[in-house]
Amino acid sequence: MRGQMPIGLAFFDLPPASAFLLPPGGWRLDAGLAYENTHAVSKDLLRTFSDGQRHFLTQTDLEAIAAGSKGETAYLVDGENLRLGLSGAWGLGHGLEIGAELPLYVHTGGFFDGTIENYHEQFGFGDAGRGAFERDRWFVAYADADGTLYAEGPPSGIRPGDLSVVLRGTFYRSPQGSSAISGSFGVEFPTGSVDRIEGNGSLDGVAGVEASWKYRRSSLHIGGRLGIFGGWDALPDLDLQPRRTAFAVYEHRAGQVSGWFAQFLFERGLFPHRVEGDLGDLTIETALGYRRAVGTTGEFDAALLENLLPASNSPDVGVWLGWRWRPAIGS
């Protein structure tokens, strides 16, 4: 599962992957649905509205607060977003695989804000500034010295995002087939809408490396990615940073057809680091879930998604549902 921060969905991000590739002629189809609630706000913006009331952020307020803040930055990312990734892969030859993905997006103000606030209050957790703004609204608002992006109200309907193509190759595979190292290189094409925050309008590239180990009833996968972005038409003067990502995934078989998994995704935001601005800070997103084989060719999995750090560049909580159809399975 890739990082799900709404303001980062417009940019290419290779999800964690196994280093064991498809055999020649093998293929698979995947569908992965992530639905997440996000509330991220800059410190100066939150201080301005921390008077015990709920507020509606205007573009004038956003730009004024950014101009007066220490880092000349202000942002509010709020709402609930659904991303359905439709993908497939084909084994080209020994140790070589090609894949493609097209995401579909739905945006909404949501309905989880009240539940999350009550949960935080019940257990004494911080609310990250949720109480300062109206519930169940959709915002992607960012301002700094390089420009302003202000999108209020969820775009209607379901629309495709940027199409990506990934080529993967094996660097090493143990003679017993119990461990492997592979490399990945992908390109994302600007097919998604910039106005809907579903594409950046530019060609993006990501390179990565993966290592995997198989055990009797479990497997471990680790790796890293480096993403380079061609720019962002919504904020053409913004100094985007390369996105650095690392991951660790552990899977354990609990029975003949089922098991559980845990994913940890470590990521630096692609925004430049600002004083009191968190969109360039480290985040750790986790997925804890259950997987089950369906017949001889299908797999279903479900997971809870959660942010481990207080940094404001990660969704708060979400759910994942995935389906994989793999008629040909290599050793």
Residue environment code for 205-234, b if the CB has 16+ CB neighbours within 10 A, otherwise e: ebebebbbebeeeebebbbbbebebbbbeb
Give the residue extent of every domain in the chain. Answer: 6-325
pLDDT for res 120 = 60
The fold for domain 6-325 equals Porin (2.40.160)
Residues 178-228 have pLDDT tens digits of: 999 999 999 999 999 999 999 999 999 999 999 999 999 999 999 999 999
Residues 97-155 have pLDDT tens digits of: 999 999 999 999 987 777 776 766 666 565 667 778 888 889 999 999 889 999 999 99
pLDDT for res 136 = 87
Q: What share of the chain is helix, strand, coil (3-state, %, to 5)?
A: 10, 50, 40
Angstrom distance (rounded) from CA 101 to CA 166: 9
Residues 71-92 have pLDDT tens digits of: 889 999 989 999 999 999 999 9
Q: What is the Cα 260 distance to its own chain's centre?
A: 21
Amino acid (1-letter code) at residue 175: P
Angstrom distance (rounded) from CA 255 to CA 291: 11
